[in-house]
Amino acid sequence: MCGIIGYIGNRNAMPILIKGLNRLEYRGYDSSGIAVMNDSIQVHKTIGKIQDLESILPDQIDGTMGIAHTRWATHGGVTDNNAHPHLSMDKDIAIVHNGIIENSSAIRKILENKGIIFNSETDTEVIVHLISLARKEGLDPLDSVRSALQVLRGTWGLCVMFHDLNQIICARNGSPLVIGLGESEMFISSDPHPLGEHTQKVVYLEDGDIAVVSNDGLSTHRIEGSTDHKVVTIEEQWGESELGDYPHFMLKEIHEQPEAIRQCISGRTLLSEGTARLGGLNMSKRTMKAIPHVRLIGCGTALYAAQVGRLAIEHLARVPSFAHVASEFRQNDPVIDPKALHFAVSQSGETADTLAAVKYIQENDAKVRGVINVVGSSIARQCGHGVYIHSGPEQAVASTKAFTNMVAALNLFALQIGRSRNLPRAAGRSLVKAMRELPSQTESIINSSAPYMDAVQAIKDAKSVLFLGRGFSAPVAREGALKLMEIAYIPCLAYPAGEMKHGPIALLEEGSPVVVIAPDDIQRDKTISNIQECKARGAKIILIHTEGDNIAEHGDVCFTIPPTEESLSPMLSVIPLQLIAYYTALELDRNVDRPRNLAKSVTVE
């Protein structure tokens, strides 16, 4: 979703901004734009990709200060005019903005009555006109931004550039903004990712902050009053984020799973004790023993990982656990028990619904721990404590390696809390051993010559695809359906296998593809019955099963996974599903990494 990049220093701003935009591309966007300070503010913007923007840029724009943006449309269609930056009527002030201004229609009417002519349908444009009016009334730049923000309701991460000022003014409320401190140059970004190549020293703005950024430093202020800021050194070294030899980020990230799992579990398991240690949780054994229940909250893939996690916690630790859709959480008036443990599960750490749920829980006097990939992200900071899943940068919109690592991290937690309660040491040791096998097992699945093209042929022209699984495989079915639906645009339905006969069975006809996840666990025999029910109605079964299991005779196209512990099987069984989705999308000529209408980081509720 929308991204911001800003630069002020002694170098030419344009190439730095374009590179920054490329680094933000993974968030999802439909247009982009750039404003560079020359004699006047020069703005270039267009719908489409960053390459489309580059193709309309002059060879050179001299100017050492600029702001740029990738837009994911919310208010107003995907048009050149709606792309950011937006200018004041006299073109003396430019703005880029992430977030949503909820009272923009009312403000727009008032401004139109004052004679302001709008150039776009966006909510953002009201801000730049408000600032411009305030300046004309004699306020200085900082106070003109402050006075505009005081009338806004909603969320913002924004940068404002004035033609007569060698400073960029930024503000944050609900949409993240981070300032990178260089040598006589400063960078501004909506996430730390583009800053890594320039500096490790950053300042995270807090909600309600305004920052005045110049070449040699920054001062931070509040919408009301003033503040000091804290410089943080980013410890996380993001891995290689270029495509390398892969045709798509999704394929690259699927292949990175063995290494990502290694990163996630390394140093966190203790074989002799048969347990795990997650220091970032900041929880004593005593506290763990007293937890009455666990709630896990997330969206999309993170939600399905949370559903696996809740099963693992109940299975290994016998603590009641629940997984919740973040966007439904606070609206449903949940009972919050301050003694309960809450987890916010999120790859980006920026998902607005998840963040809102975190704040709601905290307002109700309970603590929330993060299960997060992006270090220093909004949710991670809001939670304060938690588990980083250490997947490295995930750029394809369809999440893959974050799912496996969320499941790994939640298994580590389930093991730790299980051992602090009644899980026997021997059971803990088996789980640790099984976990340590996962990197090589995932590698063997990825490198096997499985019949992907047969699965693609069975699926690609289907009216719909049904995904079935029981127990730990039910959330995997949902995740497999989500993957195929989001990148191949095929309607997919995921059901607990036993529930299939209460509805989806009506969809089945000759040749209907049904993907069944049936590892060798206690659910296996019942799942075989459901396979029979599907086959009796002409369905074609695409089966994921454990190596060597004679269940294979029930499948039309079969994929195998190595044997593992029940709670870990989702990390293996999901991989063929990721690859089936990938190859089907390729066959249908879809944009695998940037599927239509979707965003990587969804920062609106």
The residues carrying an active-site annotation are 2, 600
Q: Which is nearer to ligand G6P, 298 or 439 (CB)?
A: 298
CB of 352 to ligand G6P, least distance (A): 9
CB of 591 to ligand G6P, least distance (A): 14
Chain-centre distance of CA 300, in angstroms? 9
Size of the site for ligand G6P (CB under 6 A): 15
CB of 86 to ligand G6P, least distance (A): 26
- What type of residue is 544? I
Among 321, 354, 378, 395, contact with ligand G6P (rule: CB under 6 A): 354
Stretch that binds ligand G6P, among 299-307, 465-473, 502-510, 529-537 (CB under 6 A): 299-307
Q: Which is nearer to ligand G6P, 223 or 598 (CB)?
A: 598
- Give yes or no for residue 301 binding ligand G6P (CB under 6 A): yes
- What type of residue is 204? Y
Question: Three-state DSSP class for 470?
Answer: coil
- E strand or H helix that includes residue 468: strand 465-469
Q: Which is nearer to ligand G6P, 241 or 351 (CB)?
A: 351
Question: Three-state DSSP class for 237?
Answer: coil
Asked whether 77 and 147 are in contact (CB, 8 A), the reply is no
- Smallest CA-to-CA distance from 488 within 467, 511, 453, 464 is with 464
Stretch that binds ligand G6P, among 90-98, 278-286, 295-303, 330-338 (CB under 6 A): 295-303
Q: Which is nearer to ligand G6P, 303 or 541 (CB)?
A: 303
Q: Which is nearer to ligand G6P, 122 or 578 (CB)?
A: 578
CB of 234 to ligand G6P, least distance (A): 19
- Give yes or no for residue 397 binding ligand G6P (CB under 6 A): yes
Question: Three-state DSSP class for 48?
Answer: coil
Asked whether 213 and 184 are in contact (CB, 8 A), the reply is no
Among 250, 302, 312, 575, contact with ligand G6P (rule: CB under 6 A): 302
Among 3, 33, 300, 309, contact with ligand G6P (rule: CB under 6 A): 300
Stretch that binds ligand G6P, among 46-54, 87-95, 344-352, 582-590 (CB under 6 A): 344-352
CB of 389 to ligand G6P, least distance (A): 10
Q: What is the DSSP string of 315-363?
A: HHH---EEEEEHHHHGGG-PPP-TTSEEEEEESSS--HHHHHHHHHHHH
Question: Three-state DSSP class for 135?
Answer: helix
Question: Three-state DSSP class for 503?
Answer: coil
CB of 351 to ligand G6P, least distance (A): 3
* x/- track of binding to ligand G6P for residues 581-600 (CB under 6 A): -----------------x-x
Dihedral of CA atoms 195, 201, 205, 211 in degrees, nearest 10, equals -90
Among 32, 122, 307, 399, contact with ligand G6P (rule: CB under 6 A): 399
The rounded distance, in Å, linking the Cα atoms of 111 and 127 is 10
Q: Which is nearer to ligand G6P, 284 or 597 (CB)?
A: 597
- Give yes or no for residue 378 binding ligand G6P (CB under 6 A): no
Q: Which is nearer to ligand G6P, 302 or 508 (CB)?
A: 302
Question: In this structure, what token pair is assigned to residue 206?
Answer: 């807090």
- Give yes or no for residue 546 binding ligand G6P (CB under 6 A): no
Contacts of 273 (CB under 8 A, 6+ apart): 419, 425, 428
- Give yes or no for residue 306 binding ligand G6P (CB under 6 A): no
> Cα 278–282–286 angle (5° rounding)?
95
Asked whether 210 and 221 are in contact (CB, 8 A), the reply is yes
Question: Three-state DSSP class for 272?
Answer: coil
The rounded distance, in Å, linking the Cα atoms of 321 and 413 is 13
From the number of C-beta atoms within 10 Å of its C-beta (0-12, 13-18, 19+), residue 334 rates as middle
- Smallest CA-to-CA distance from 470 within 411, 434, 521 is with 521
Site for ligand G6P in 247-286 (CB under 6 A): none
* x/- track of binding to ligand G6P for residues 68-107 (CB under 6 A): ----------------------------------------
Torsion angles phi and psi, residue 251, rounded to 5? -65, -40
Q: Which position's Cβ is nearest ligand G6P?
A: 300
Q: Which residues bind ligand G6P (CB under 6 A)?
A: 299-302, 346-348, 351, 354, 397, 399, 598, 600-602
